[in-house]
Structure formats: structure tokens, C-alpha cells
Amino acid sequence: MATTADGRDELNRLLGGYRVTQLLYVAARLGIADLVAHGAMSAAEIADAAGSHVDATSRFLAALADLGVLARSDGDTYVLTAMGSLLRDGQRGGLRAAALSYGSPWWWSAFGQLEASVRTGQTGFELVYGRPLFPWLADHPDAADVFNANMAAMIDGDVVLACGFPFAAVSHLVDVGGGRGQFARAFLKRFPAARASVIDRPDVVAGVLGECDAGIRDRLTVHGASFFNRLPVTGDAYLLKDILHDWDDDNAVRILQRCADAARPHGQIILAERLLNDADFDDAVRGVDITMLALTGGRERTRTDYTRLLTRAGLVPGGEYRAGGGYSLIAAHPKPDESADATPLDG
């Protein structure tokens, strides 16, 4: 589409973004990328395999082709594009989990309250569902599965492990809020003499050990617990990956204090977060910041912001390591004196 000088066409394109989100969501739900992955199919064949309405599916596939997810080969026949392959189930580096999250009614409806969030500071999610996201997910396992899969896919564990932080020196890694243990498994695979533990809500970690290979399972422990309470395991490094951005400052400090308590006297805490004011990824990080406003009540932060939180929690900030996708790792360690300058907080 040609862009007019006043930006009208571009703004119209942006206003139609909701259609794009739903097209990709429905494509992921119907498994279109997996159906077409092995060769050209007609709209009728795709509809039959997906169990969908033939005429509606034909119109839907044409719209996906306009996006570049599919390509028309002959008439009403479609093949998968390289971009479309990112919607395949199990595709490494794929975005199917993101599509299933962003188009889900529970995610979508929170953004429907964005005006109220901007006016009041409340999350759109709580305005719709009457309680915060994470307790709601604990009672809705299907939605939790989608959410956890998206969190796991956001950053490749191997990319984090290659960022320059000395993970090889870590004998026991504790992944705090570690979801289904994807990063812990990557860590154990890379370092066969190390051990790891995963801490997350009981509903999140249930069955994790059963998903692990035998060579990993005997070096991994799983703990269903809240990171707002005393941590149930002691290690020499505590990883918080995509955790603090879900929470406001006071709650972030509480989480850090629990890690500091467990890490004393010689352990360390590792934050893996996107940073605001990153010249290469700032637009993307600000987009995630709006997601935090709508869904969790958290926020994205600058390096200075994280330094302030670490200091409040009685930790000494250390080095920073760049990982892929706009992520940075920030290392910290407890002050030698346990009573040093941590801001006391209840809980």
C-alpha cells in the first residue's frame, strides 16, 4: 500500500492490527502451518483437515497469504512460507506460543481495558477478571499452559548460556520462577557435572521431572513454592529470568530479598531482563512495558532502575552481560553484613 504524505495509509494499517493478531491466533489454533508444511493444499483440503467451514476458510487463507504467512501456488492452492513456518508446533525459535497467547480471550480482553489502565494505573486484567493474572492462571490450567509455553519460548536458554556470564563456575543453579524448567534443562545439558533446582507455583511445576531425560532428572530438583516466601533450596546462583518485570517495585524487592537471604554468604543473583533505553530494542521493550501495564502491574526498567532495586534489597550490583533478543544479564551478590541497608518489607 502506498503511504500518503500525511501518514493516513500507515495509520490505517496500524489501526487494523487487531485483525492481524486474530488471523495469526486462529491460524495457530487451527494448526494451519502444520497442515500445509508438507506440500501445497487447496482451501477445501485445508478446511477438511482443520474441520472448518470451506468458504470461510478460503477467505481466511487468502488473508494469511496477504500477510505472507502462506503463498498462493495455483489458484486456490497454498504453500507455507518461511515466516509461516514460525507458527508450526514445536518449531525452535517459533512464535506459535506467542500467537496463542496474544489472541487468547483472556489476554485480548485485558487490552480492551487499556484506557482504564492508563487513566487509573490498574491492570486491565484485574478490571476484567477481578483478580491478578497469576492467581487466575492457577485456576485455569489451559490458559496457564499457553502462558507458560510463551514464557519458555521468549528467549533461548542456549543464548543465555552463551552470553559471557561464567555459568561454568556455577555448581548448583536455582531457577527462581523457572516455569517448566526449560532453562534449567539447557543448563544441565551444557554442564553435566552441575545440579539445578526449579522453583515455581505448584500448578506450574507439576510433572516437570517426568518430562526430563534420565541424565538430567537425577540432577534436577523441583519445588512448588512462592518466591515471596523463604526459598526451599540453597544453591550458589539464583536466576530470575523475566520475573521482576512482572511486579511493581516493592514486590520486586521482596523477591530479591528472598533470593538474597538464600544466597548468603557467598552466592549470587542473576537477573535476565530486557532493558529500557536499549538503542537496538527500545521499541520492542516499550511494547512489552505496555503489556505489563495491561496484564500484570509490572513494568520494564532501565539498568539504573534495576541497580536501585538490587541496592534496596541489600545486594551489590555487578557486571552486565548482553544476551540475544534485547535481554541483558545483571549479576549481584549479597553484602557481607546481612543487616546492611536492605529496605525491610513485610512478607
SS (H, E, C) the chain: CCCCCCCHHHHHHHHCHHHHHHHHHHHHHHCHHHHHCCCCEEHHHHHHHHCCCHHHHHHHHHHHHHHCCEEECCCCEEEECCCHHHHCCCCCCCCHHHHHHHCCHHHHHHHCCHHHHHHHCCCHHHHHHCCCHHHHHHCCHHHHHHHHHHHHHCCCHHHHHCCCCCHHHCCEEEEECCCCCHHHHHHHHHCCCCEEEEEECHHHHCCCHHHCCHHHHCCEEEEECCCCCCCCCCCCEEEEECCHHHCCHHHHHHHHHHHHHHHCCCCEEEEEEEECCCCCCHHHHHHHHHHHHHHCCCCCECHHHHHHHHHHCCEEEEEEEECHHHEEEEEEEECCCCCCCCCCCCC
**Location of C-alpha cell 503463498:** 71
pTM for the model stands at 0.89
List the one residue out of 13, 24, 26 whose CA is nearest residue 83: 24
Residues serving a catalytic function are: 245
Note the pLDDT of residue 207.
86
Note whether 8-87 and 154-334 share their fold.
Answer: no
Domain range summary for the chain, segments of one domain joined by +: 8-87, 96-151, 154-334
pLDDT value of residue 324? 77
Q: Which one-letter amino acid corresponds to residue 86?
A: L
Residue ranges, the chain, pLDDT below 50: 339-347
317 phi-psi bin (left φ>0, alpha ψ -120 to 50, beta other): beta
Count of other CB atoms within 10 angstroms of residue 127: 17
All residues at 6 or more sequence positions from 338 whose CB lies less than 8 Å from its CB, including other chains = 264, 314
CB 204 within 8 A of CB 144: yes
Cell for 60?
A: 481466511
Grid coordinates belonging to 239: 536466576
CB count in 10 Å sphere of residue 107: 23
> CA 110 to CA 293: how far, in whole Å?
10
For residue 173, give the nearest of 215, 130, 113, 221 by alpha carbon. Answer: 221
Q: Which CATH number fits domain 154-334: 3.40.50.150, 3.40.190.10, 3.90.1010.10, 3.30.420.40?
A: 3.40.50.150
Backbone dihedral region for residue 209 (phi beyond 0: left; psi -120 to 50: alpha; all else: beta): alpha
pLDDT digits (tens, 9 = 90+) for 280-338: 778 889 999 999 999 999 999 999 999 999 999 999 999 999 987 788 999 999 987 65
- Give me 42's grid cell: 487447496
* pLDDT for res 344: 45
Judge: domain 8-87, CATH 2.70.98.40. no
